[in-house]
Structure 1
Amino acid sequence: MTEIKKINPLPFLSTLEANPEKDEWIKQREKELAEQAAKEAAYQMQKSVESSGVPRRYWHVDFDTYISRNEKDLKNLETIKKFTSLDNNDKVLILLGAKGLGKTHLGSAIIRNCGGKFISIEELIFKYESAQDFHAKTNREELMVLYSSTKMLVIDEIGGSIQQEKENALLNYILRRRYENMLPTVLISNLSKADLLKKFGEAVLDRLCETCISLEFEGESYRTSIRDVNL
């Protein structure tokens, strides 16, 4: 009969004994790795923001740096946060109100949290016109594909261009293509809701009725408050 060897359990049990010094080292190492991962994620997010088209002044803004001055601001902020967290988001979010109420700040924060592209309507027109140049790095078709397919698009200063006919044509095209691609879009304007809707053709209005979330901002300009403080 084969003799069964007896195994001394002590070496195995010793590895299970409490070792405060080793446990503390493991905890510290886990903390360091978590901090490194958080720093890398923050770095990558910042790089994404800086290459997105967000103006340099707004590179470091986020939802938590937006100052809500009234109940409506708070409700608008919560609605925007929910918009950014929607699954399979294909909505159009419209931010309306006078200058200096934080709309660009919030549009930039959306890009920080979702990725994508940010552009003013005036810059979009400039890029589109420049794209016809023979030496341009991007042609018109590539430009339209970029803004029609990016995962989130924020277009600022709608209604502020001196080329309204071209502005309307570009907006109509991009909104139609993004609707077809089931992608979210943010439109920012100083126009009233009625005046903004006049800009769009019947087909665009029909799509907006299906997918649109409209928020209006009211109050005194932040910039006026800042100027008063600095005087």
Structure 2
Amino acid sequence: MPADRVRALLDALRGRLIVSCQAPPGDPLRAPEHMAAAAASVAAGASVAAIRVQGVEDIHAVRAAVTLPLIGLWKDGAEGVYITPTAAHARAVAEAGAEIVAIDATRRPRPDGRPLRDTVEAVHRLGHLVMADVSTAEEGVAAASLGADLISTTLSGYTPYSPQQPGPDLGLIAELTGLVDVPVCAEGRLHTPEEARKAIELGAWAVVVGGAITAPAAIASRFVAALP
């Protein structure tokens, strides 16, 4: 992707909300047409900067429903490195219509035994951008050195060596913004507008919010838990 287009795409995300439209296995909303409808709904009702979406079929459906930039990923499996775990997964996500490909960029071994660099280079050869999902500052710095275009705190709390906490890892956001020159996105357990705003104040380029917006079961559960 030409440098001017890269800059325009990244600038369009700055200081804004990215909505993650995903549904877990077994959820009644787990279907491409439902995710496309969710994406179209948030795109029409708010000044959303981009949509994050999982799975090749869902990416195709959402791409047909909205004109916003898409951050695509492919979850293959349920343990270890399963977010766009290989270069082949990344290429499929890019070819499905995502301008930005999100990949697991943790230090854990990848299922094909190949280095993270291979996946980053595969995405760049197609002219797309890479969002590196990390769990620690060390991983974020390493991903940036490999050419990742954005770093996201998505996996903090989802590796055994990262902080286990109920809310967003605001400390990681603040630390990473002082260590890397690429945009840092806040993602993971952002439950309220106030938390999203705090992330931006700490230096996050953009915030990615999913379950607090697009997961009815999780939203309902929080209301139920709050009742006396």
Q: TM-score range by the shorter chain?
A: 0.3 to 0.5
TM-score by length of 1: 0.34
Query: Which structure features the higher share of strand residues?
Result: 2
TM-score by length of 2: 0.35
Query: Which structure features the higher share of helix residues?
Result: 1
Greater radius of gyration (CA) = 1
Higher relative contact order (CA 8 A, sep 6+): 1
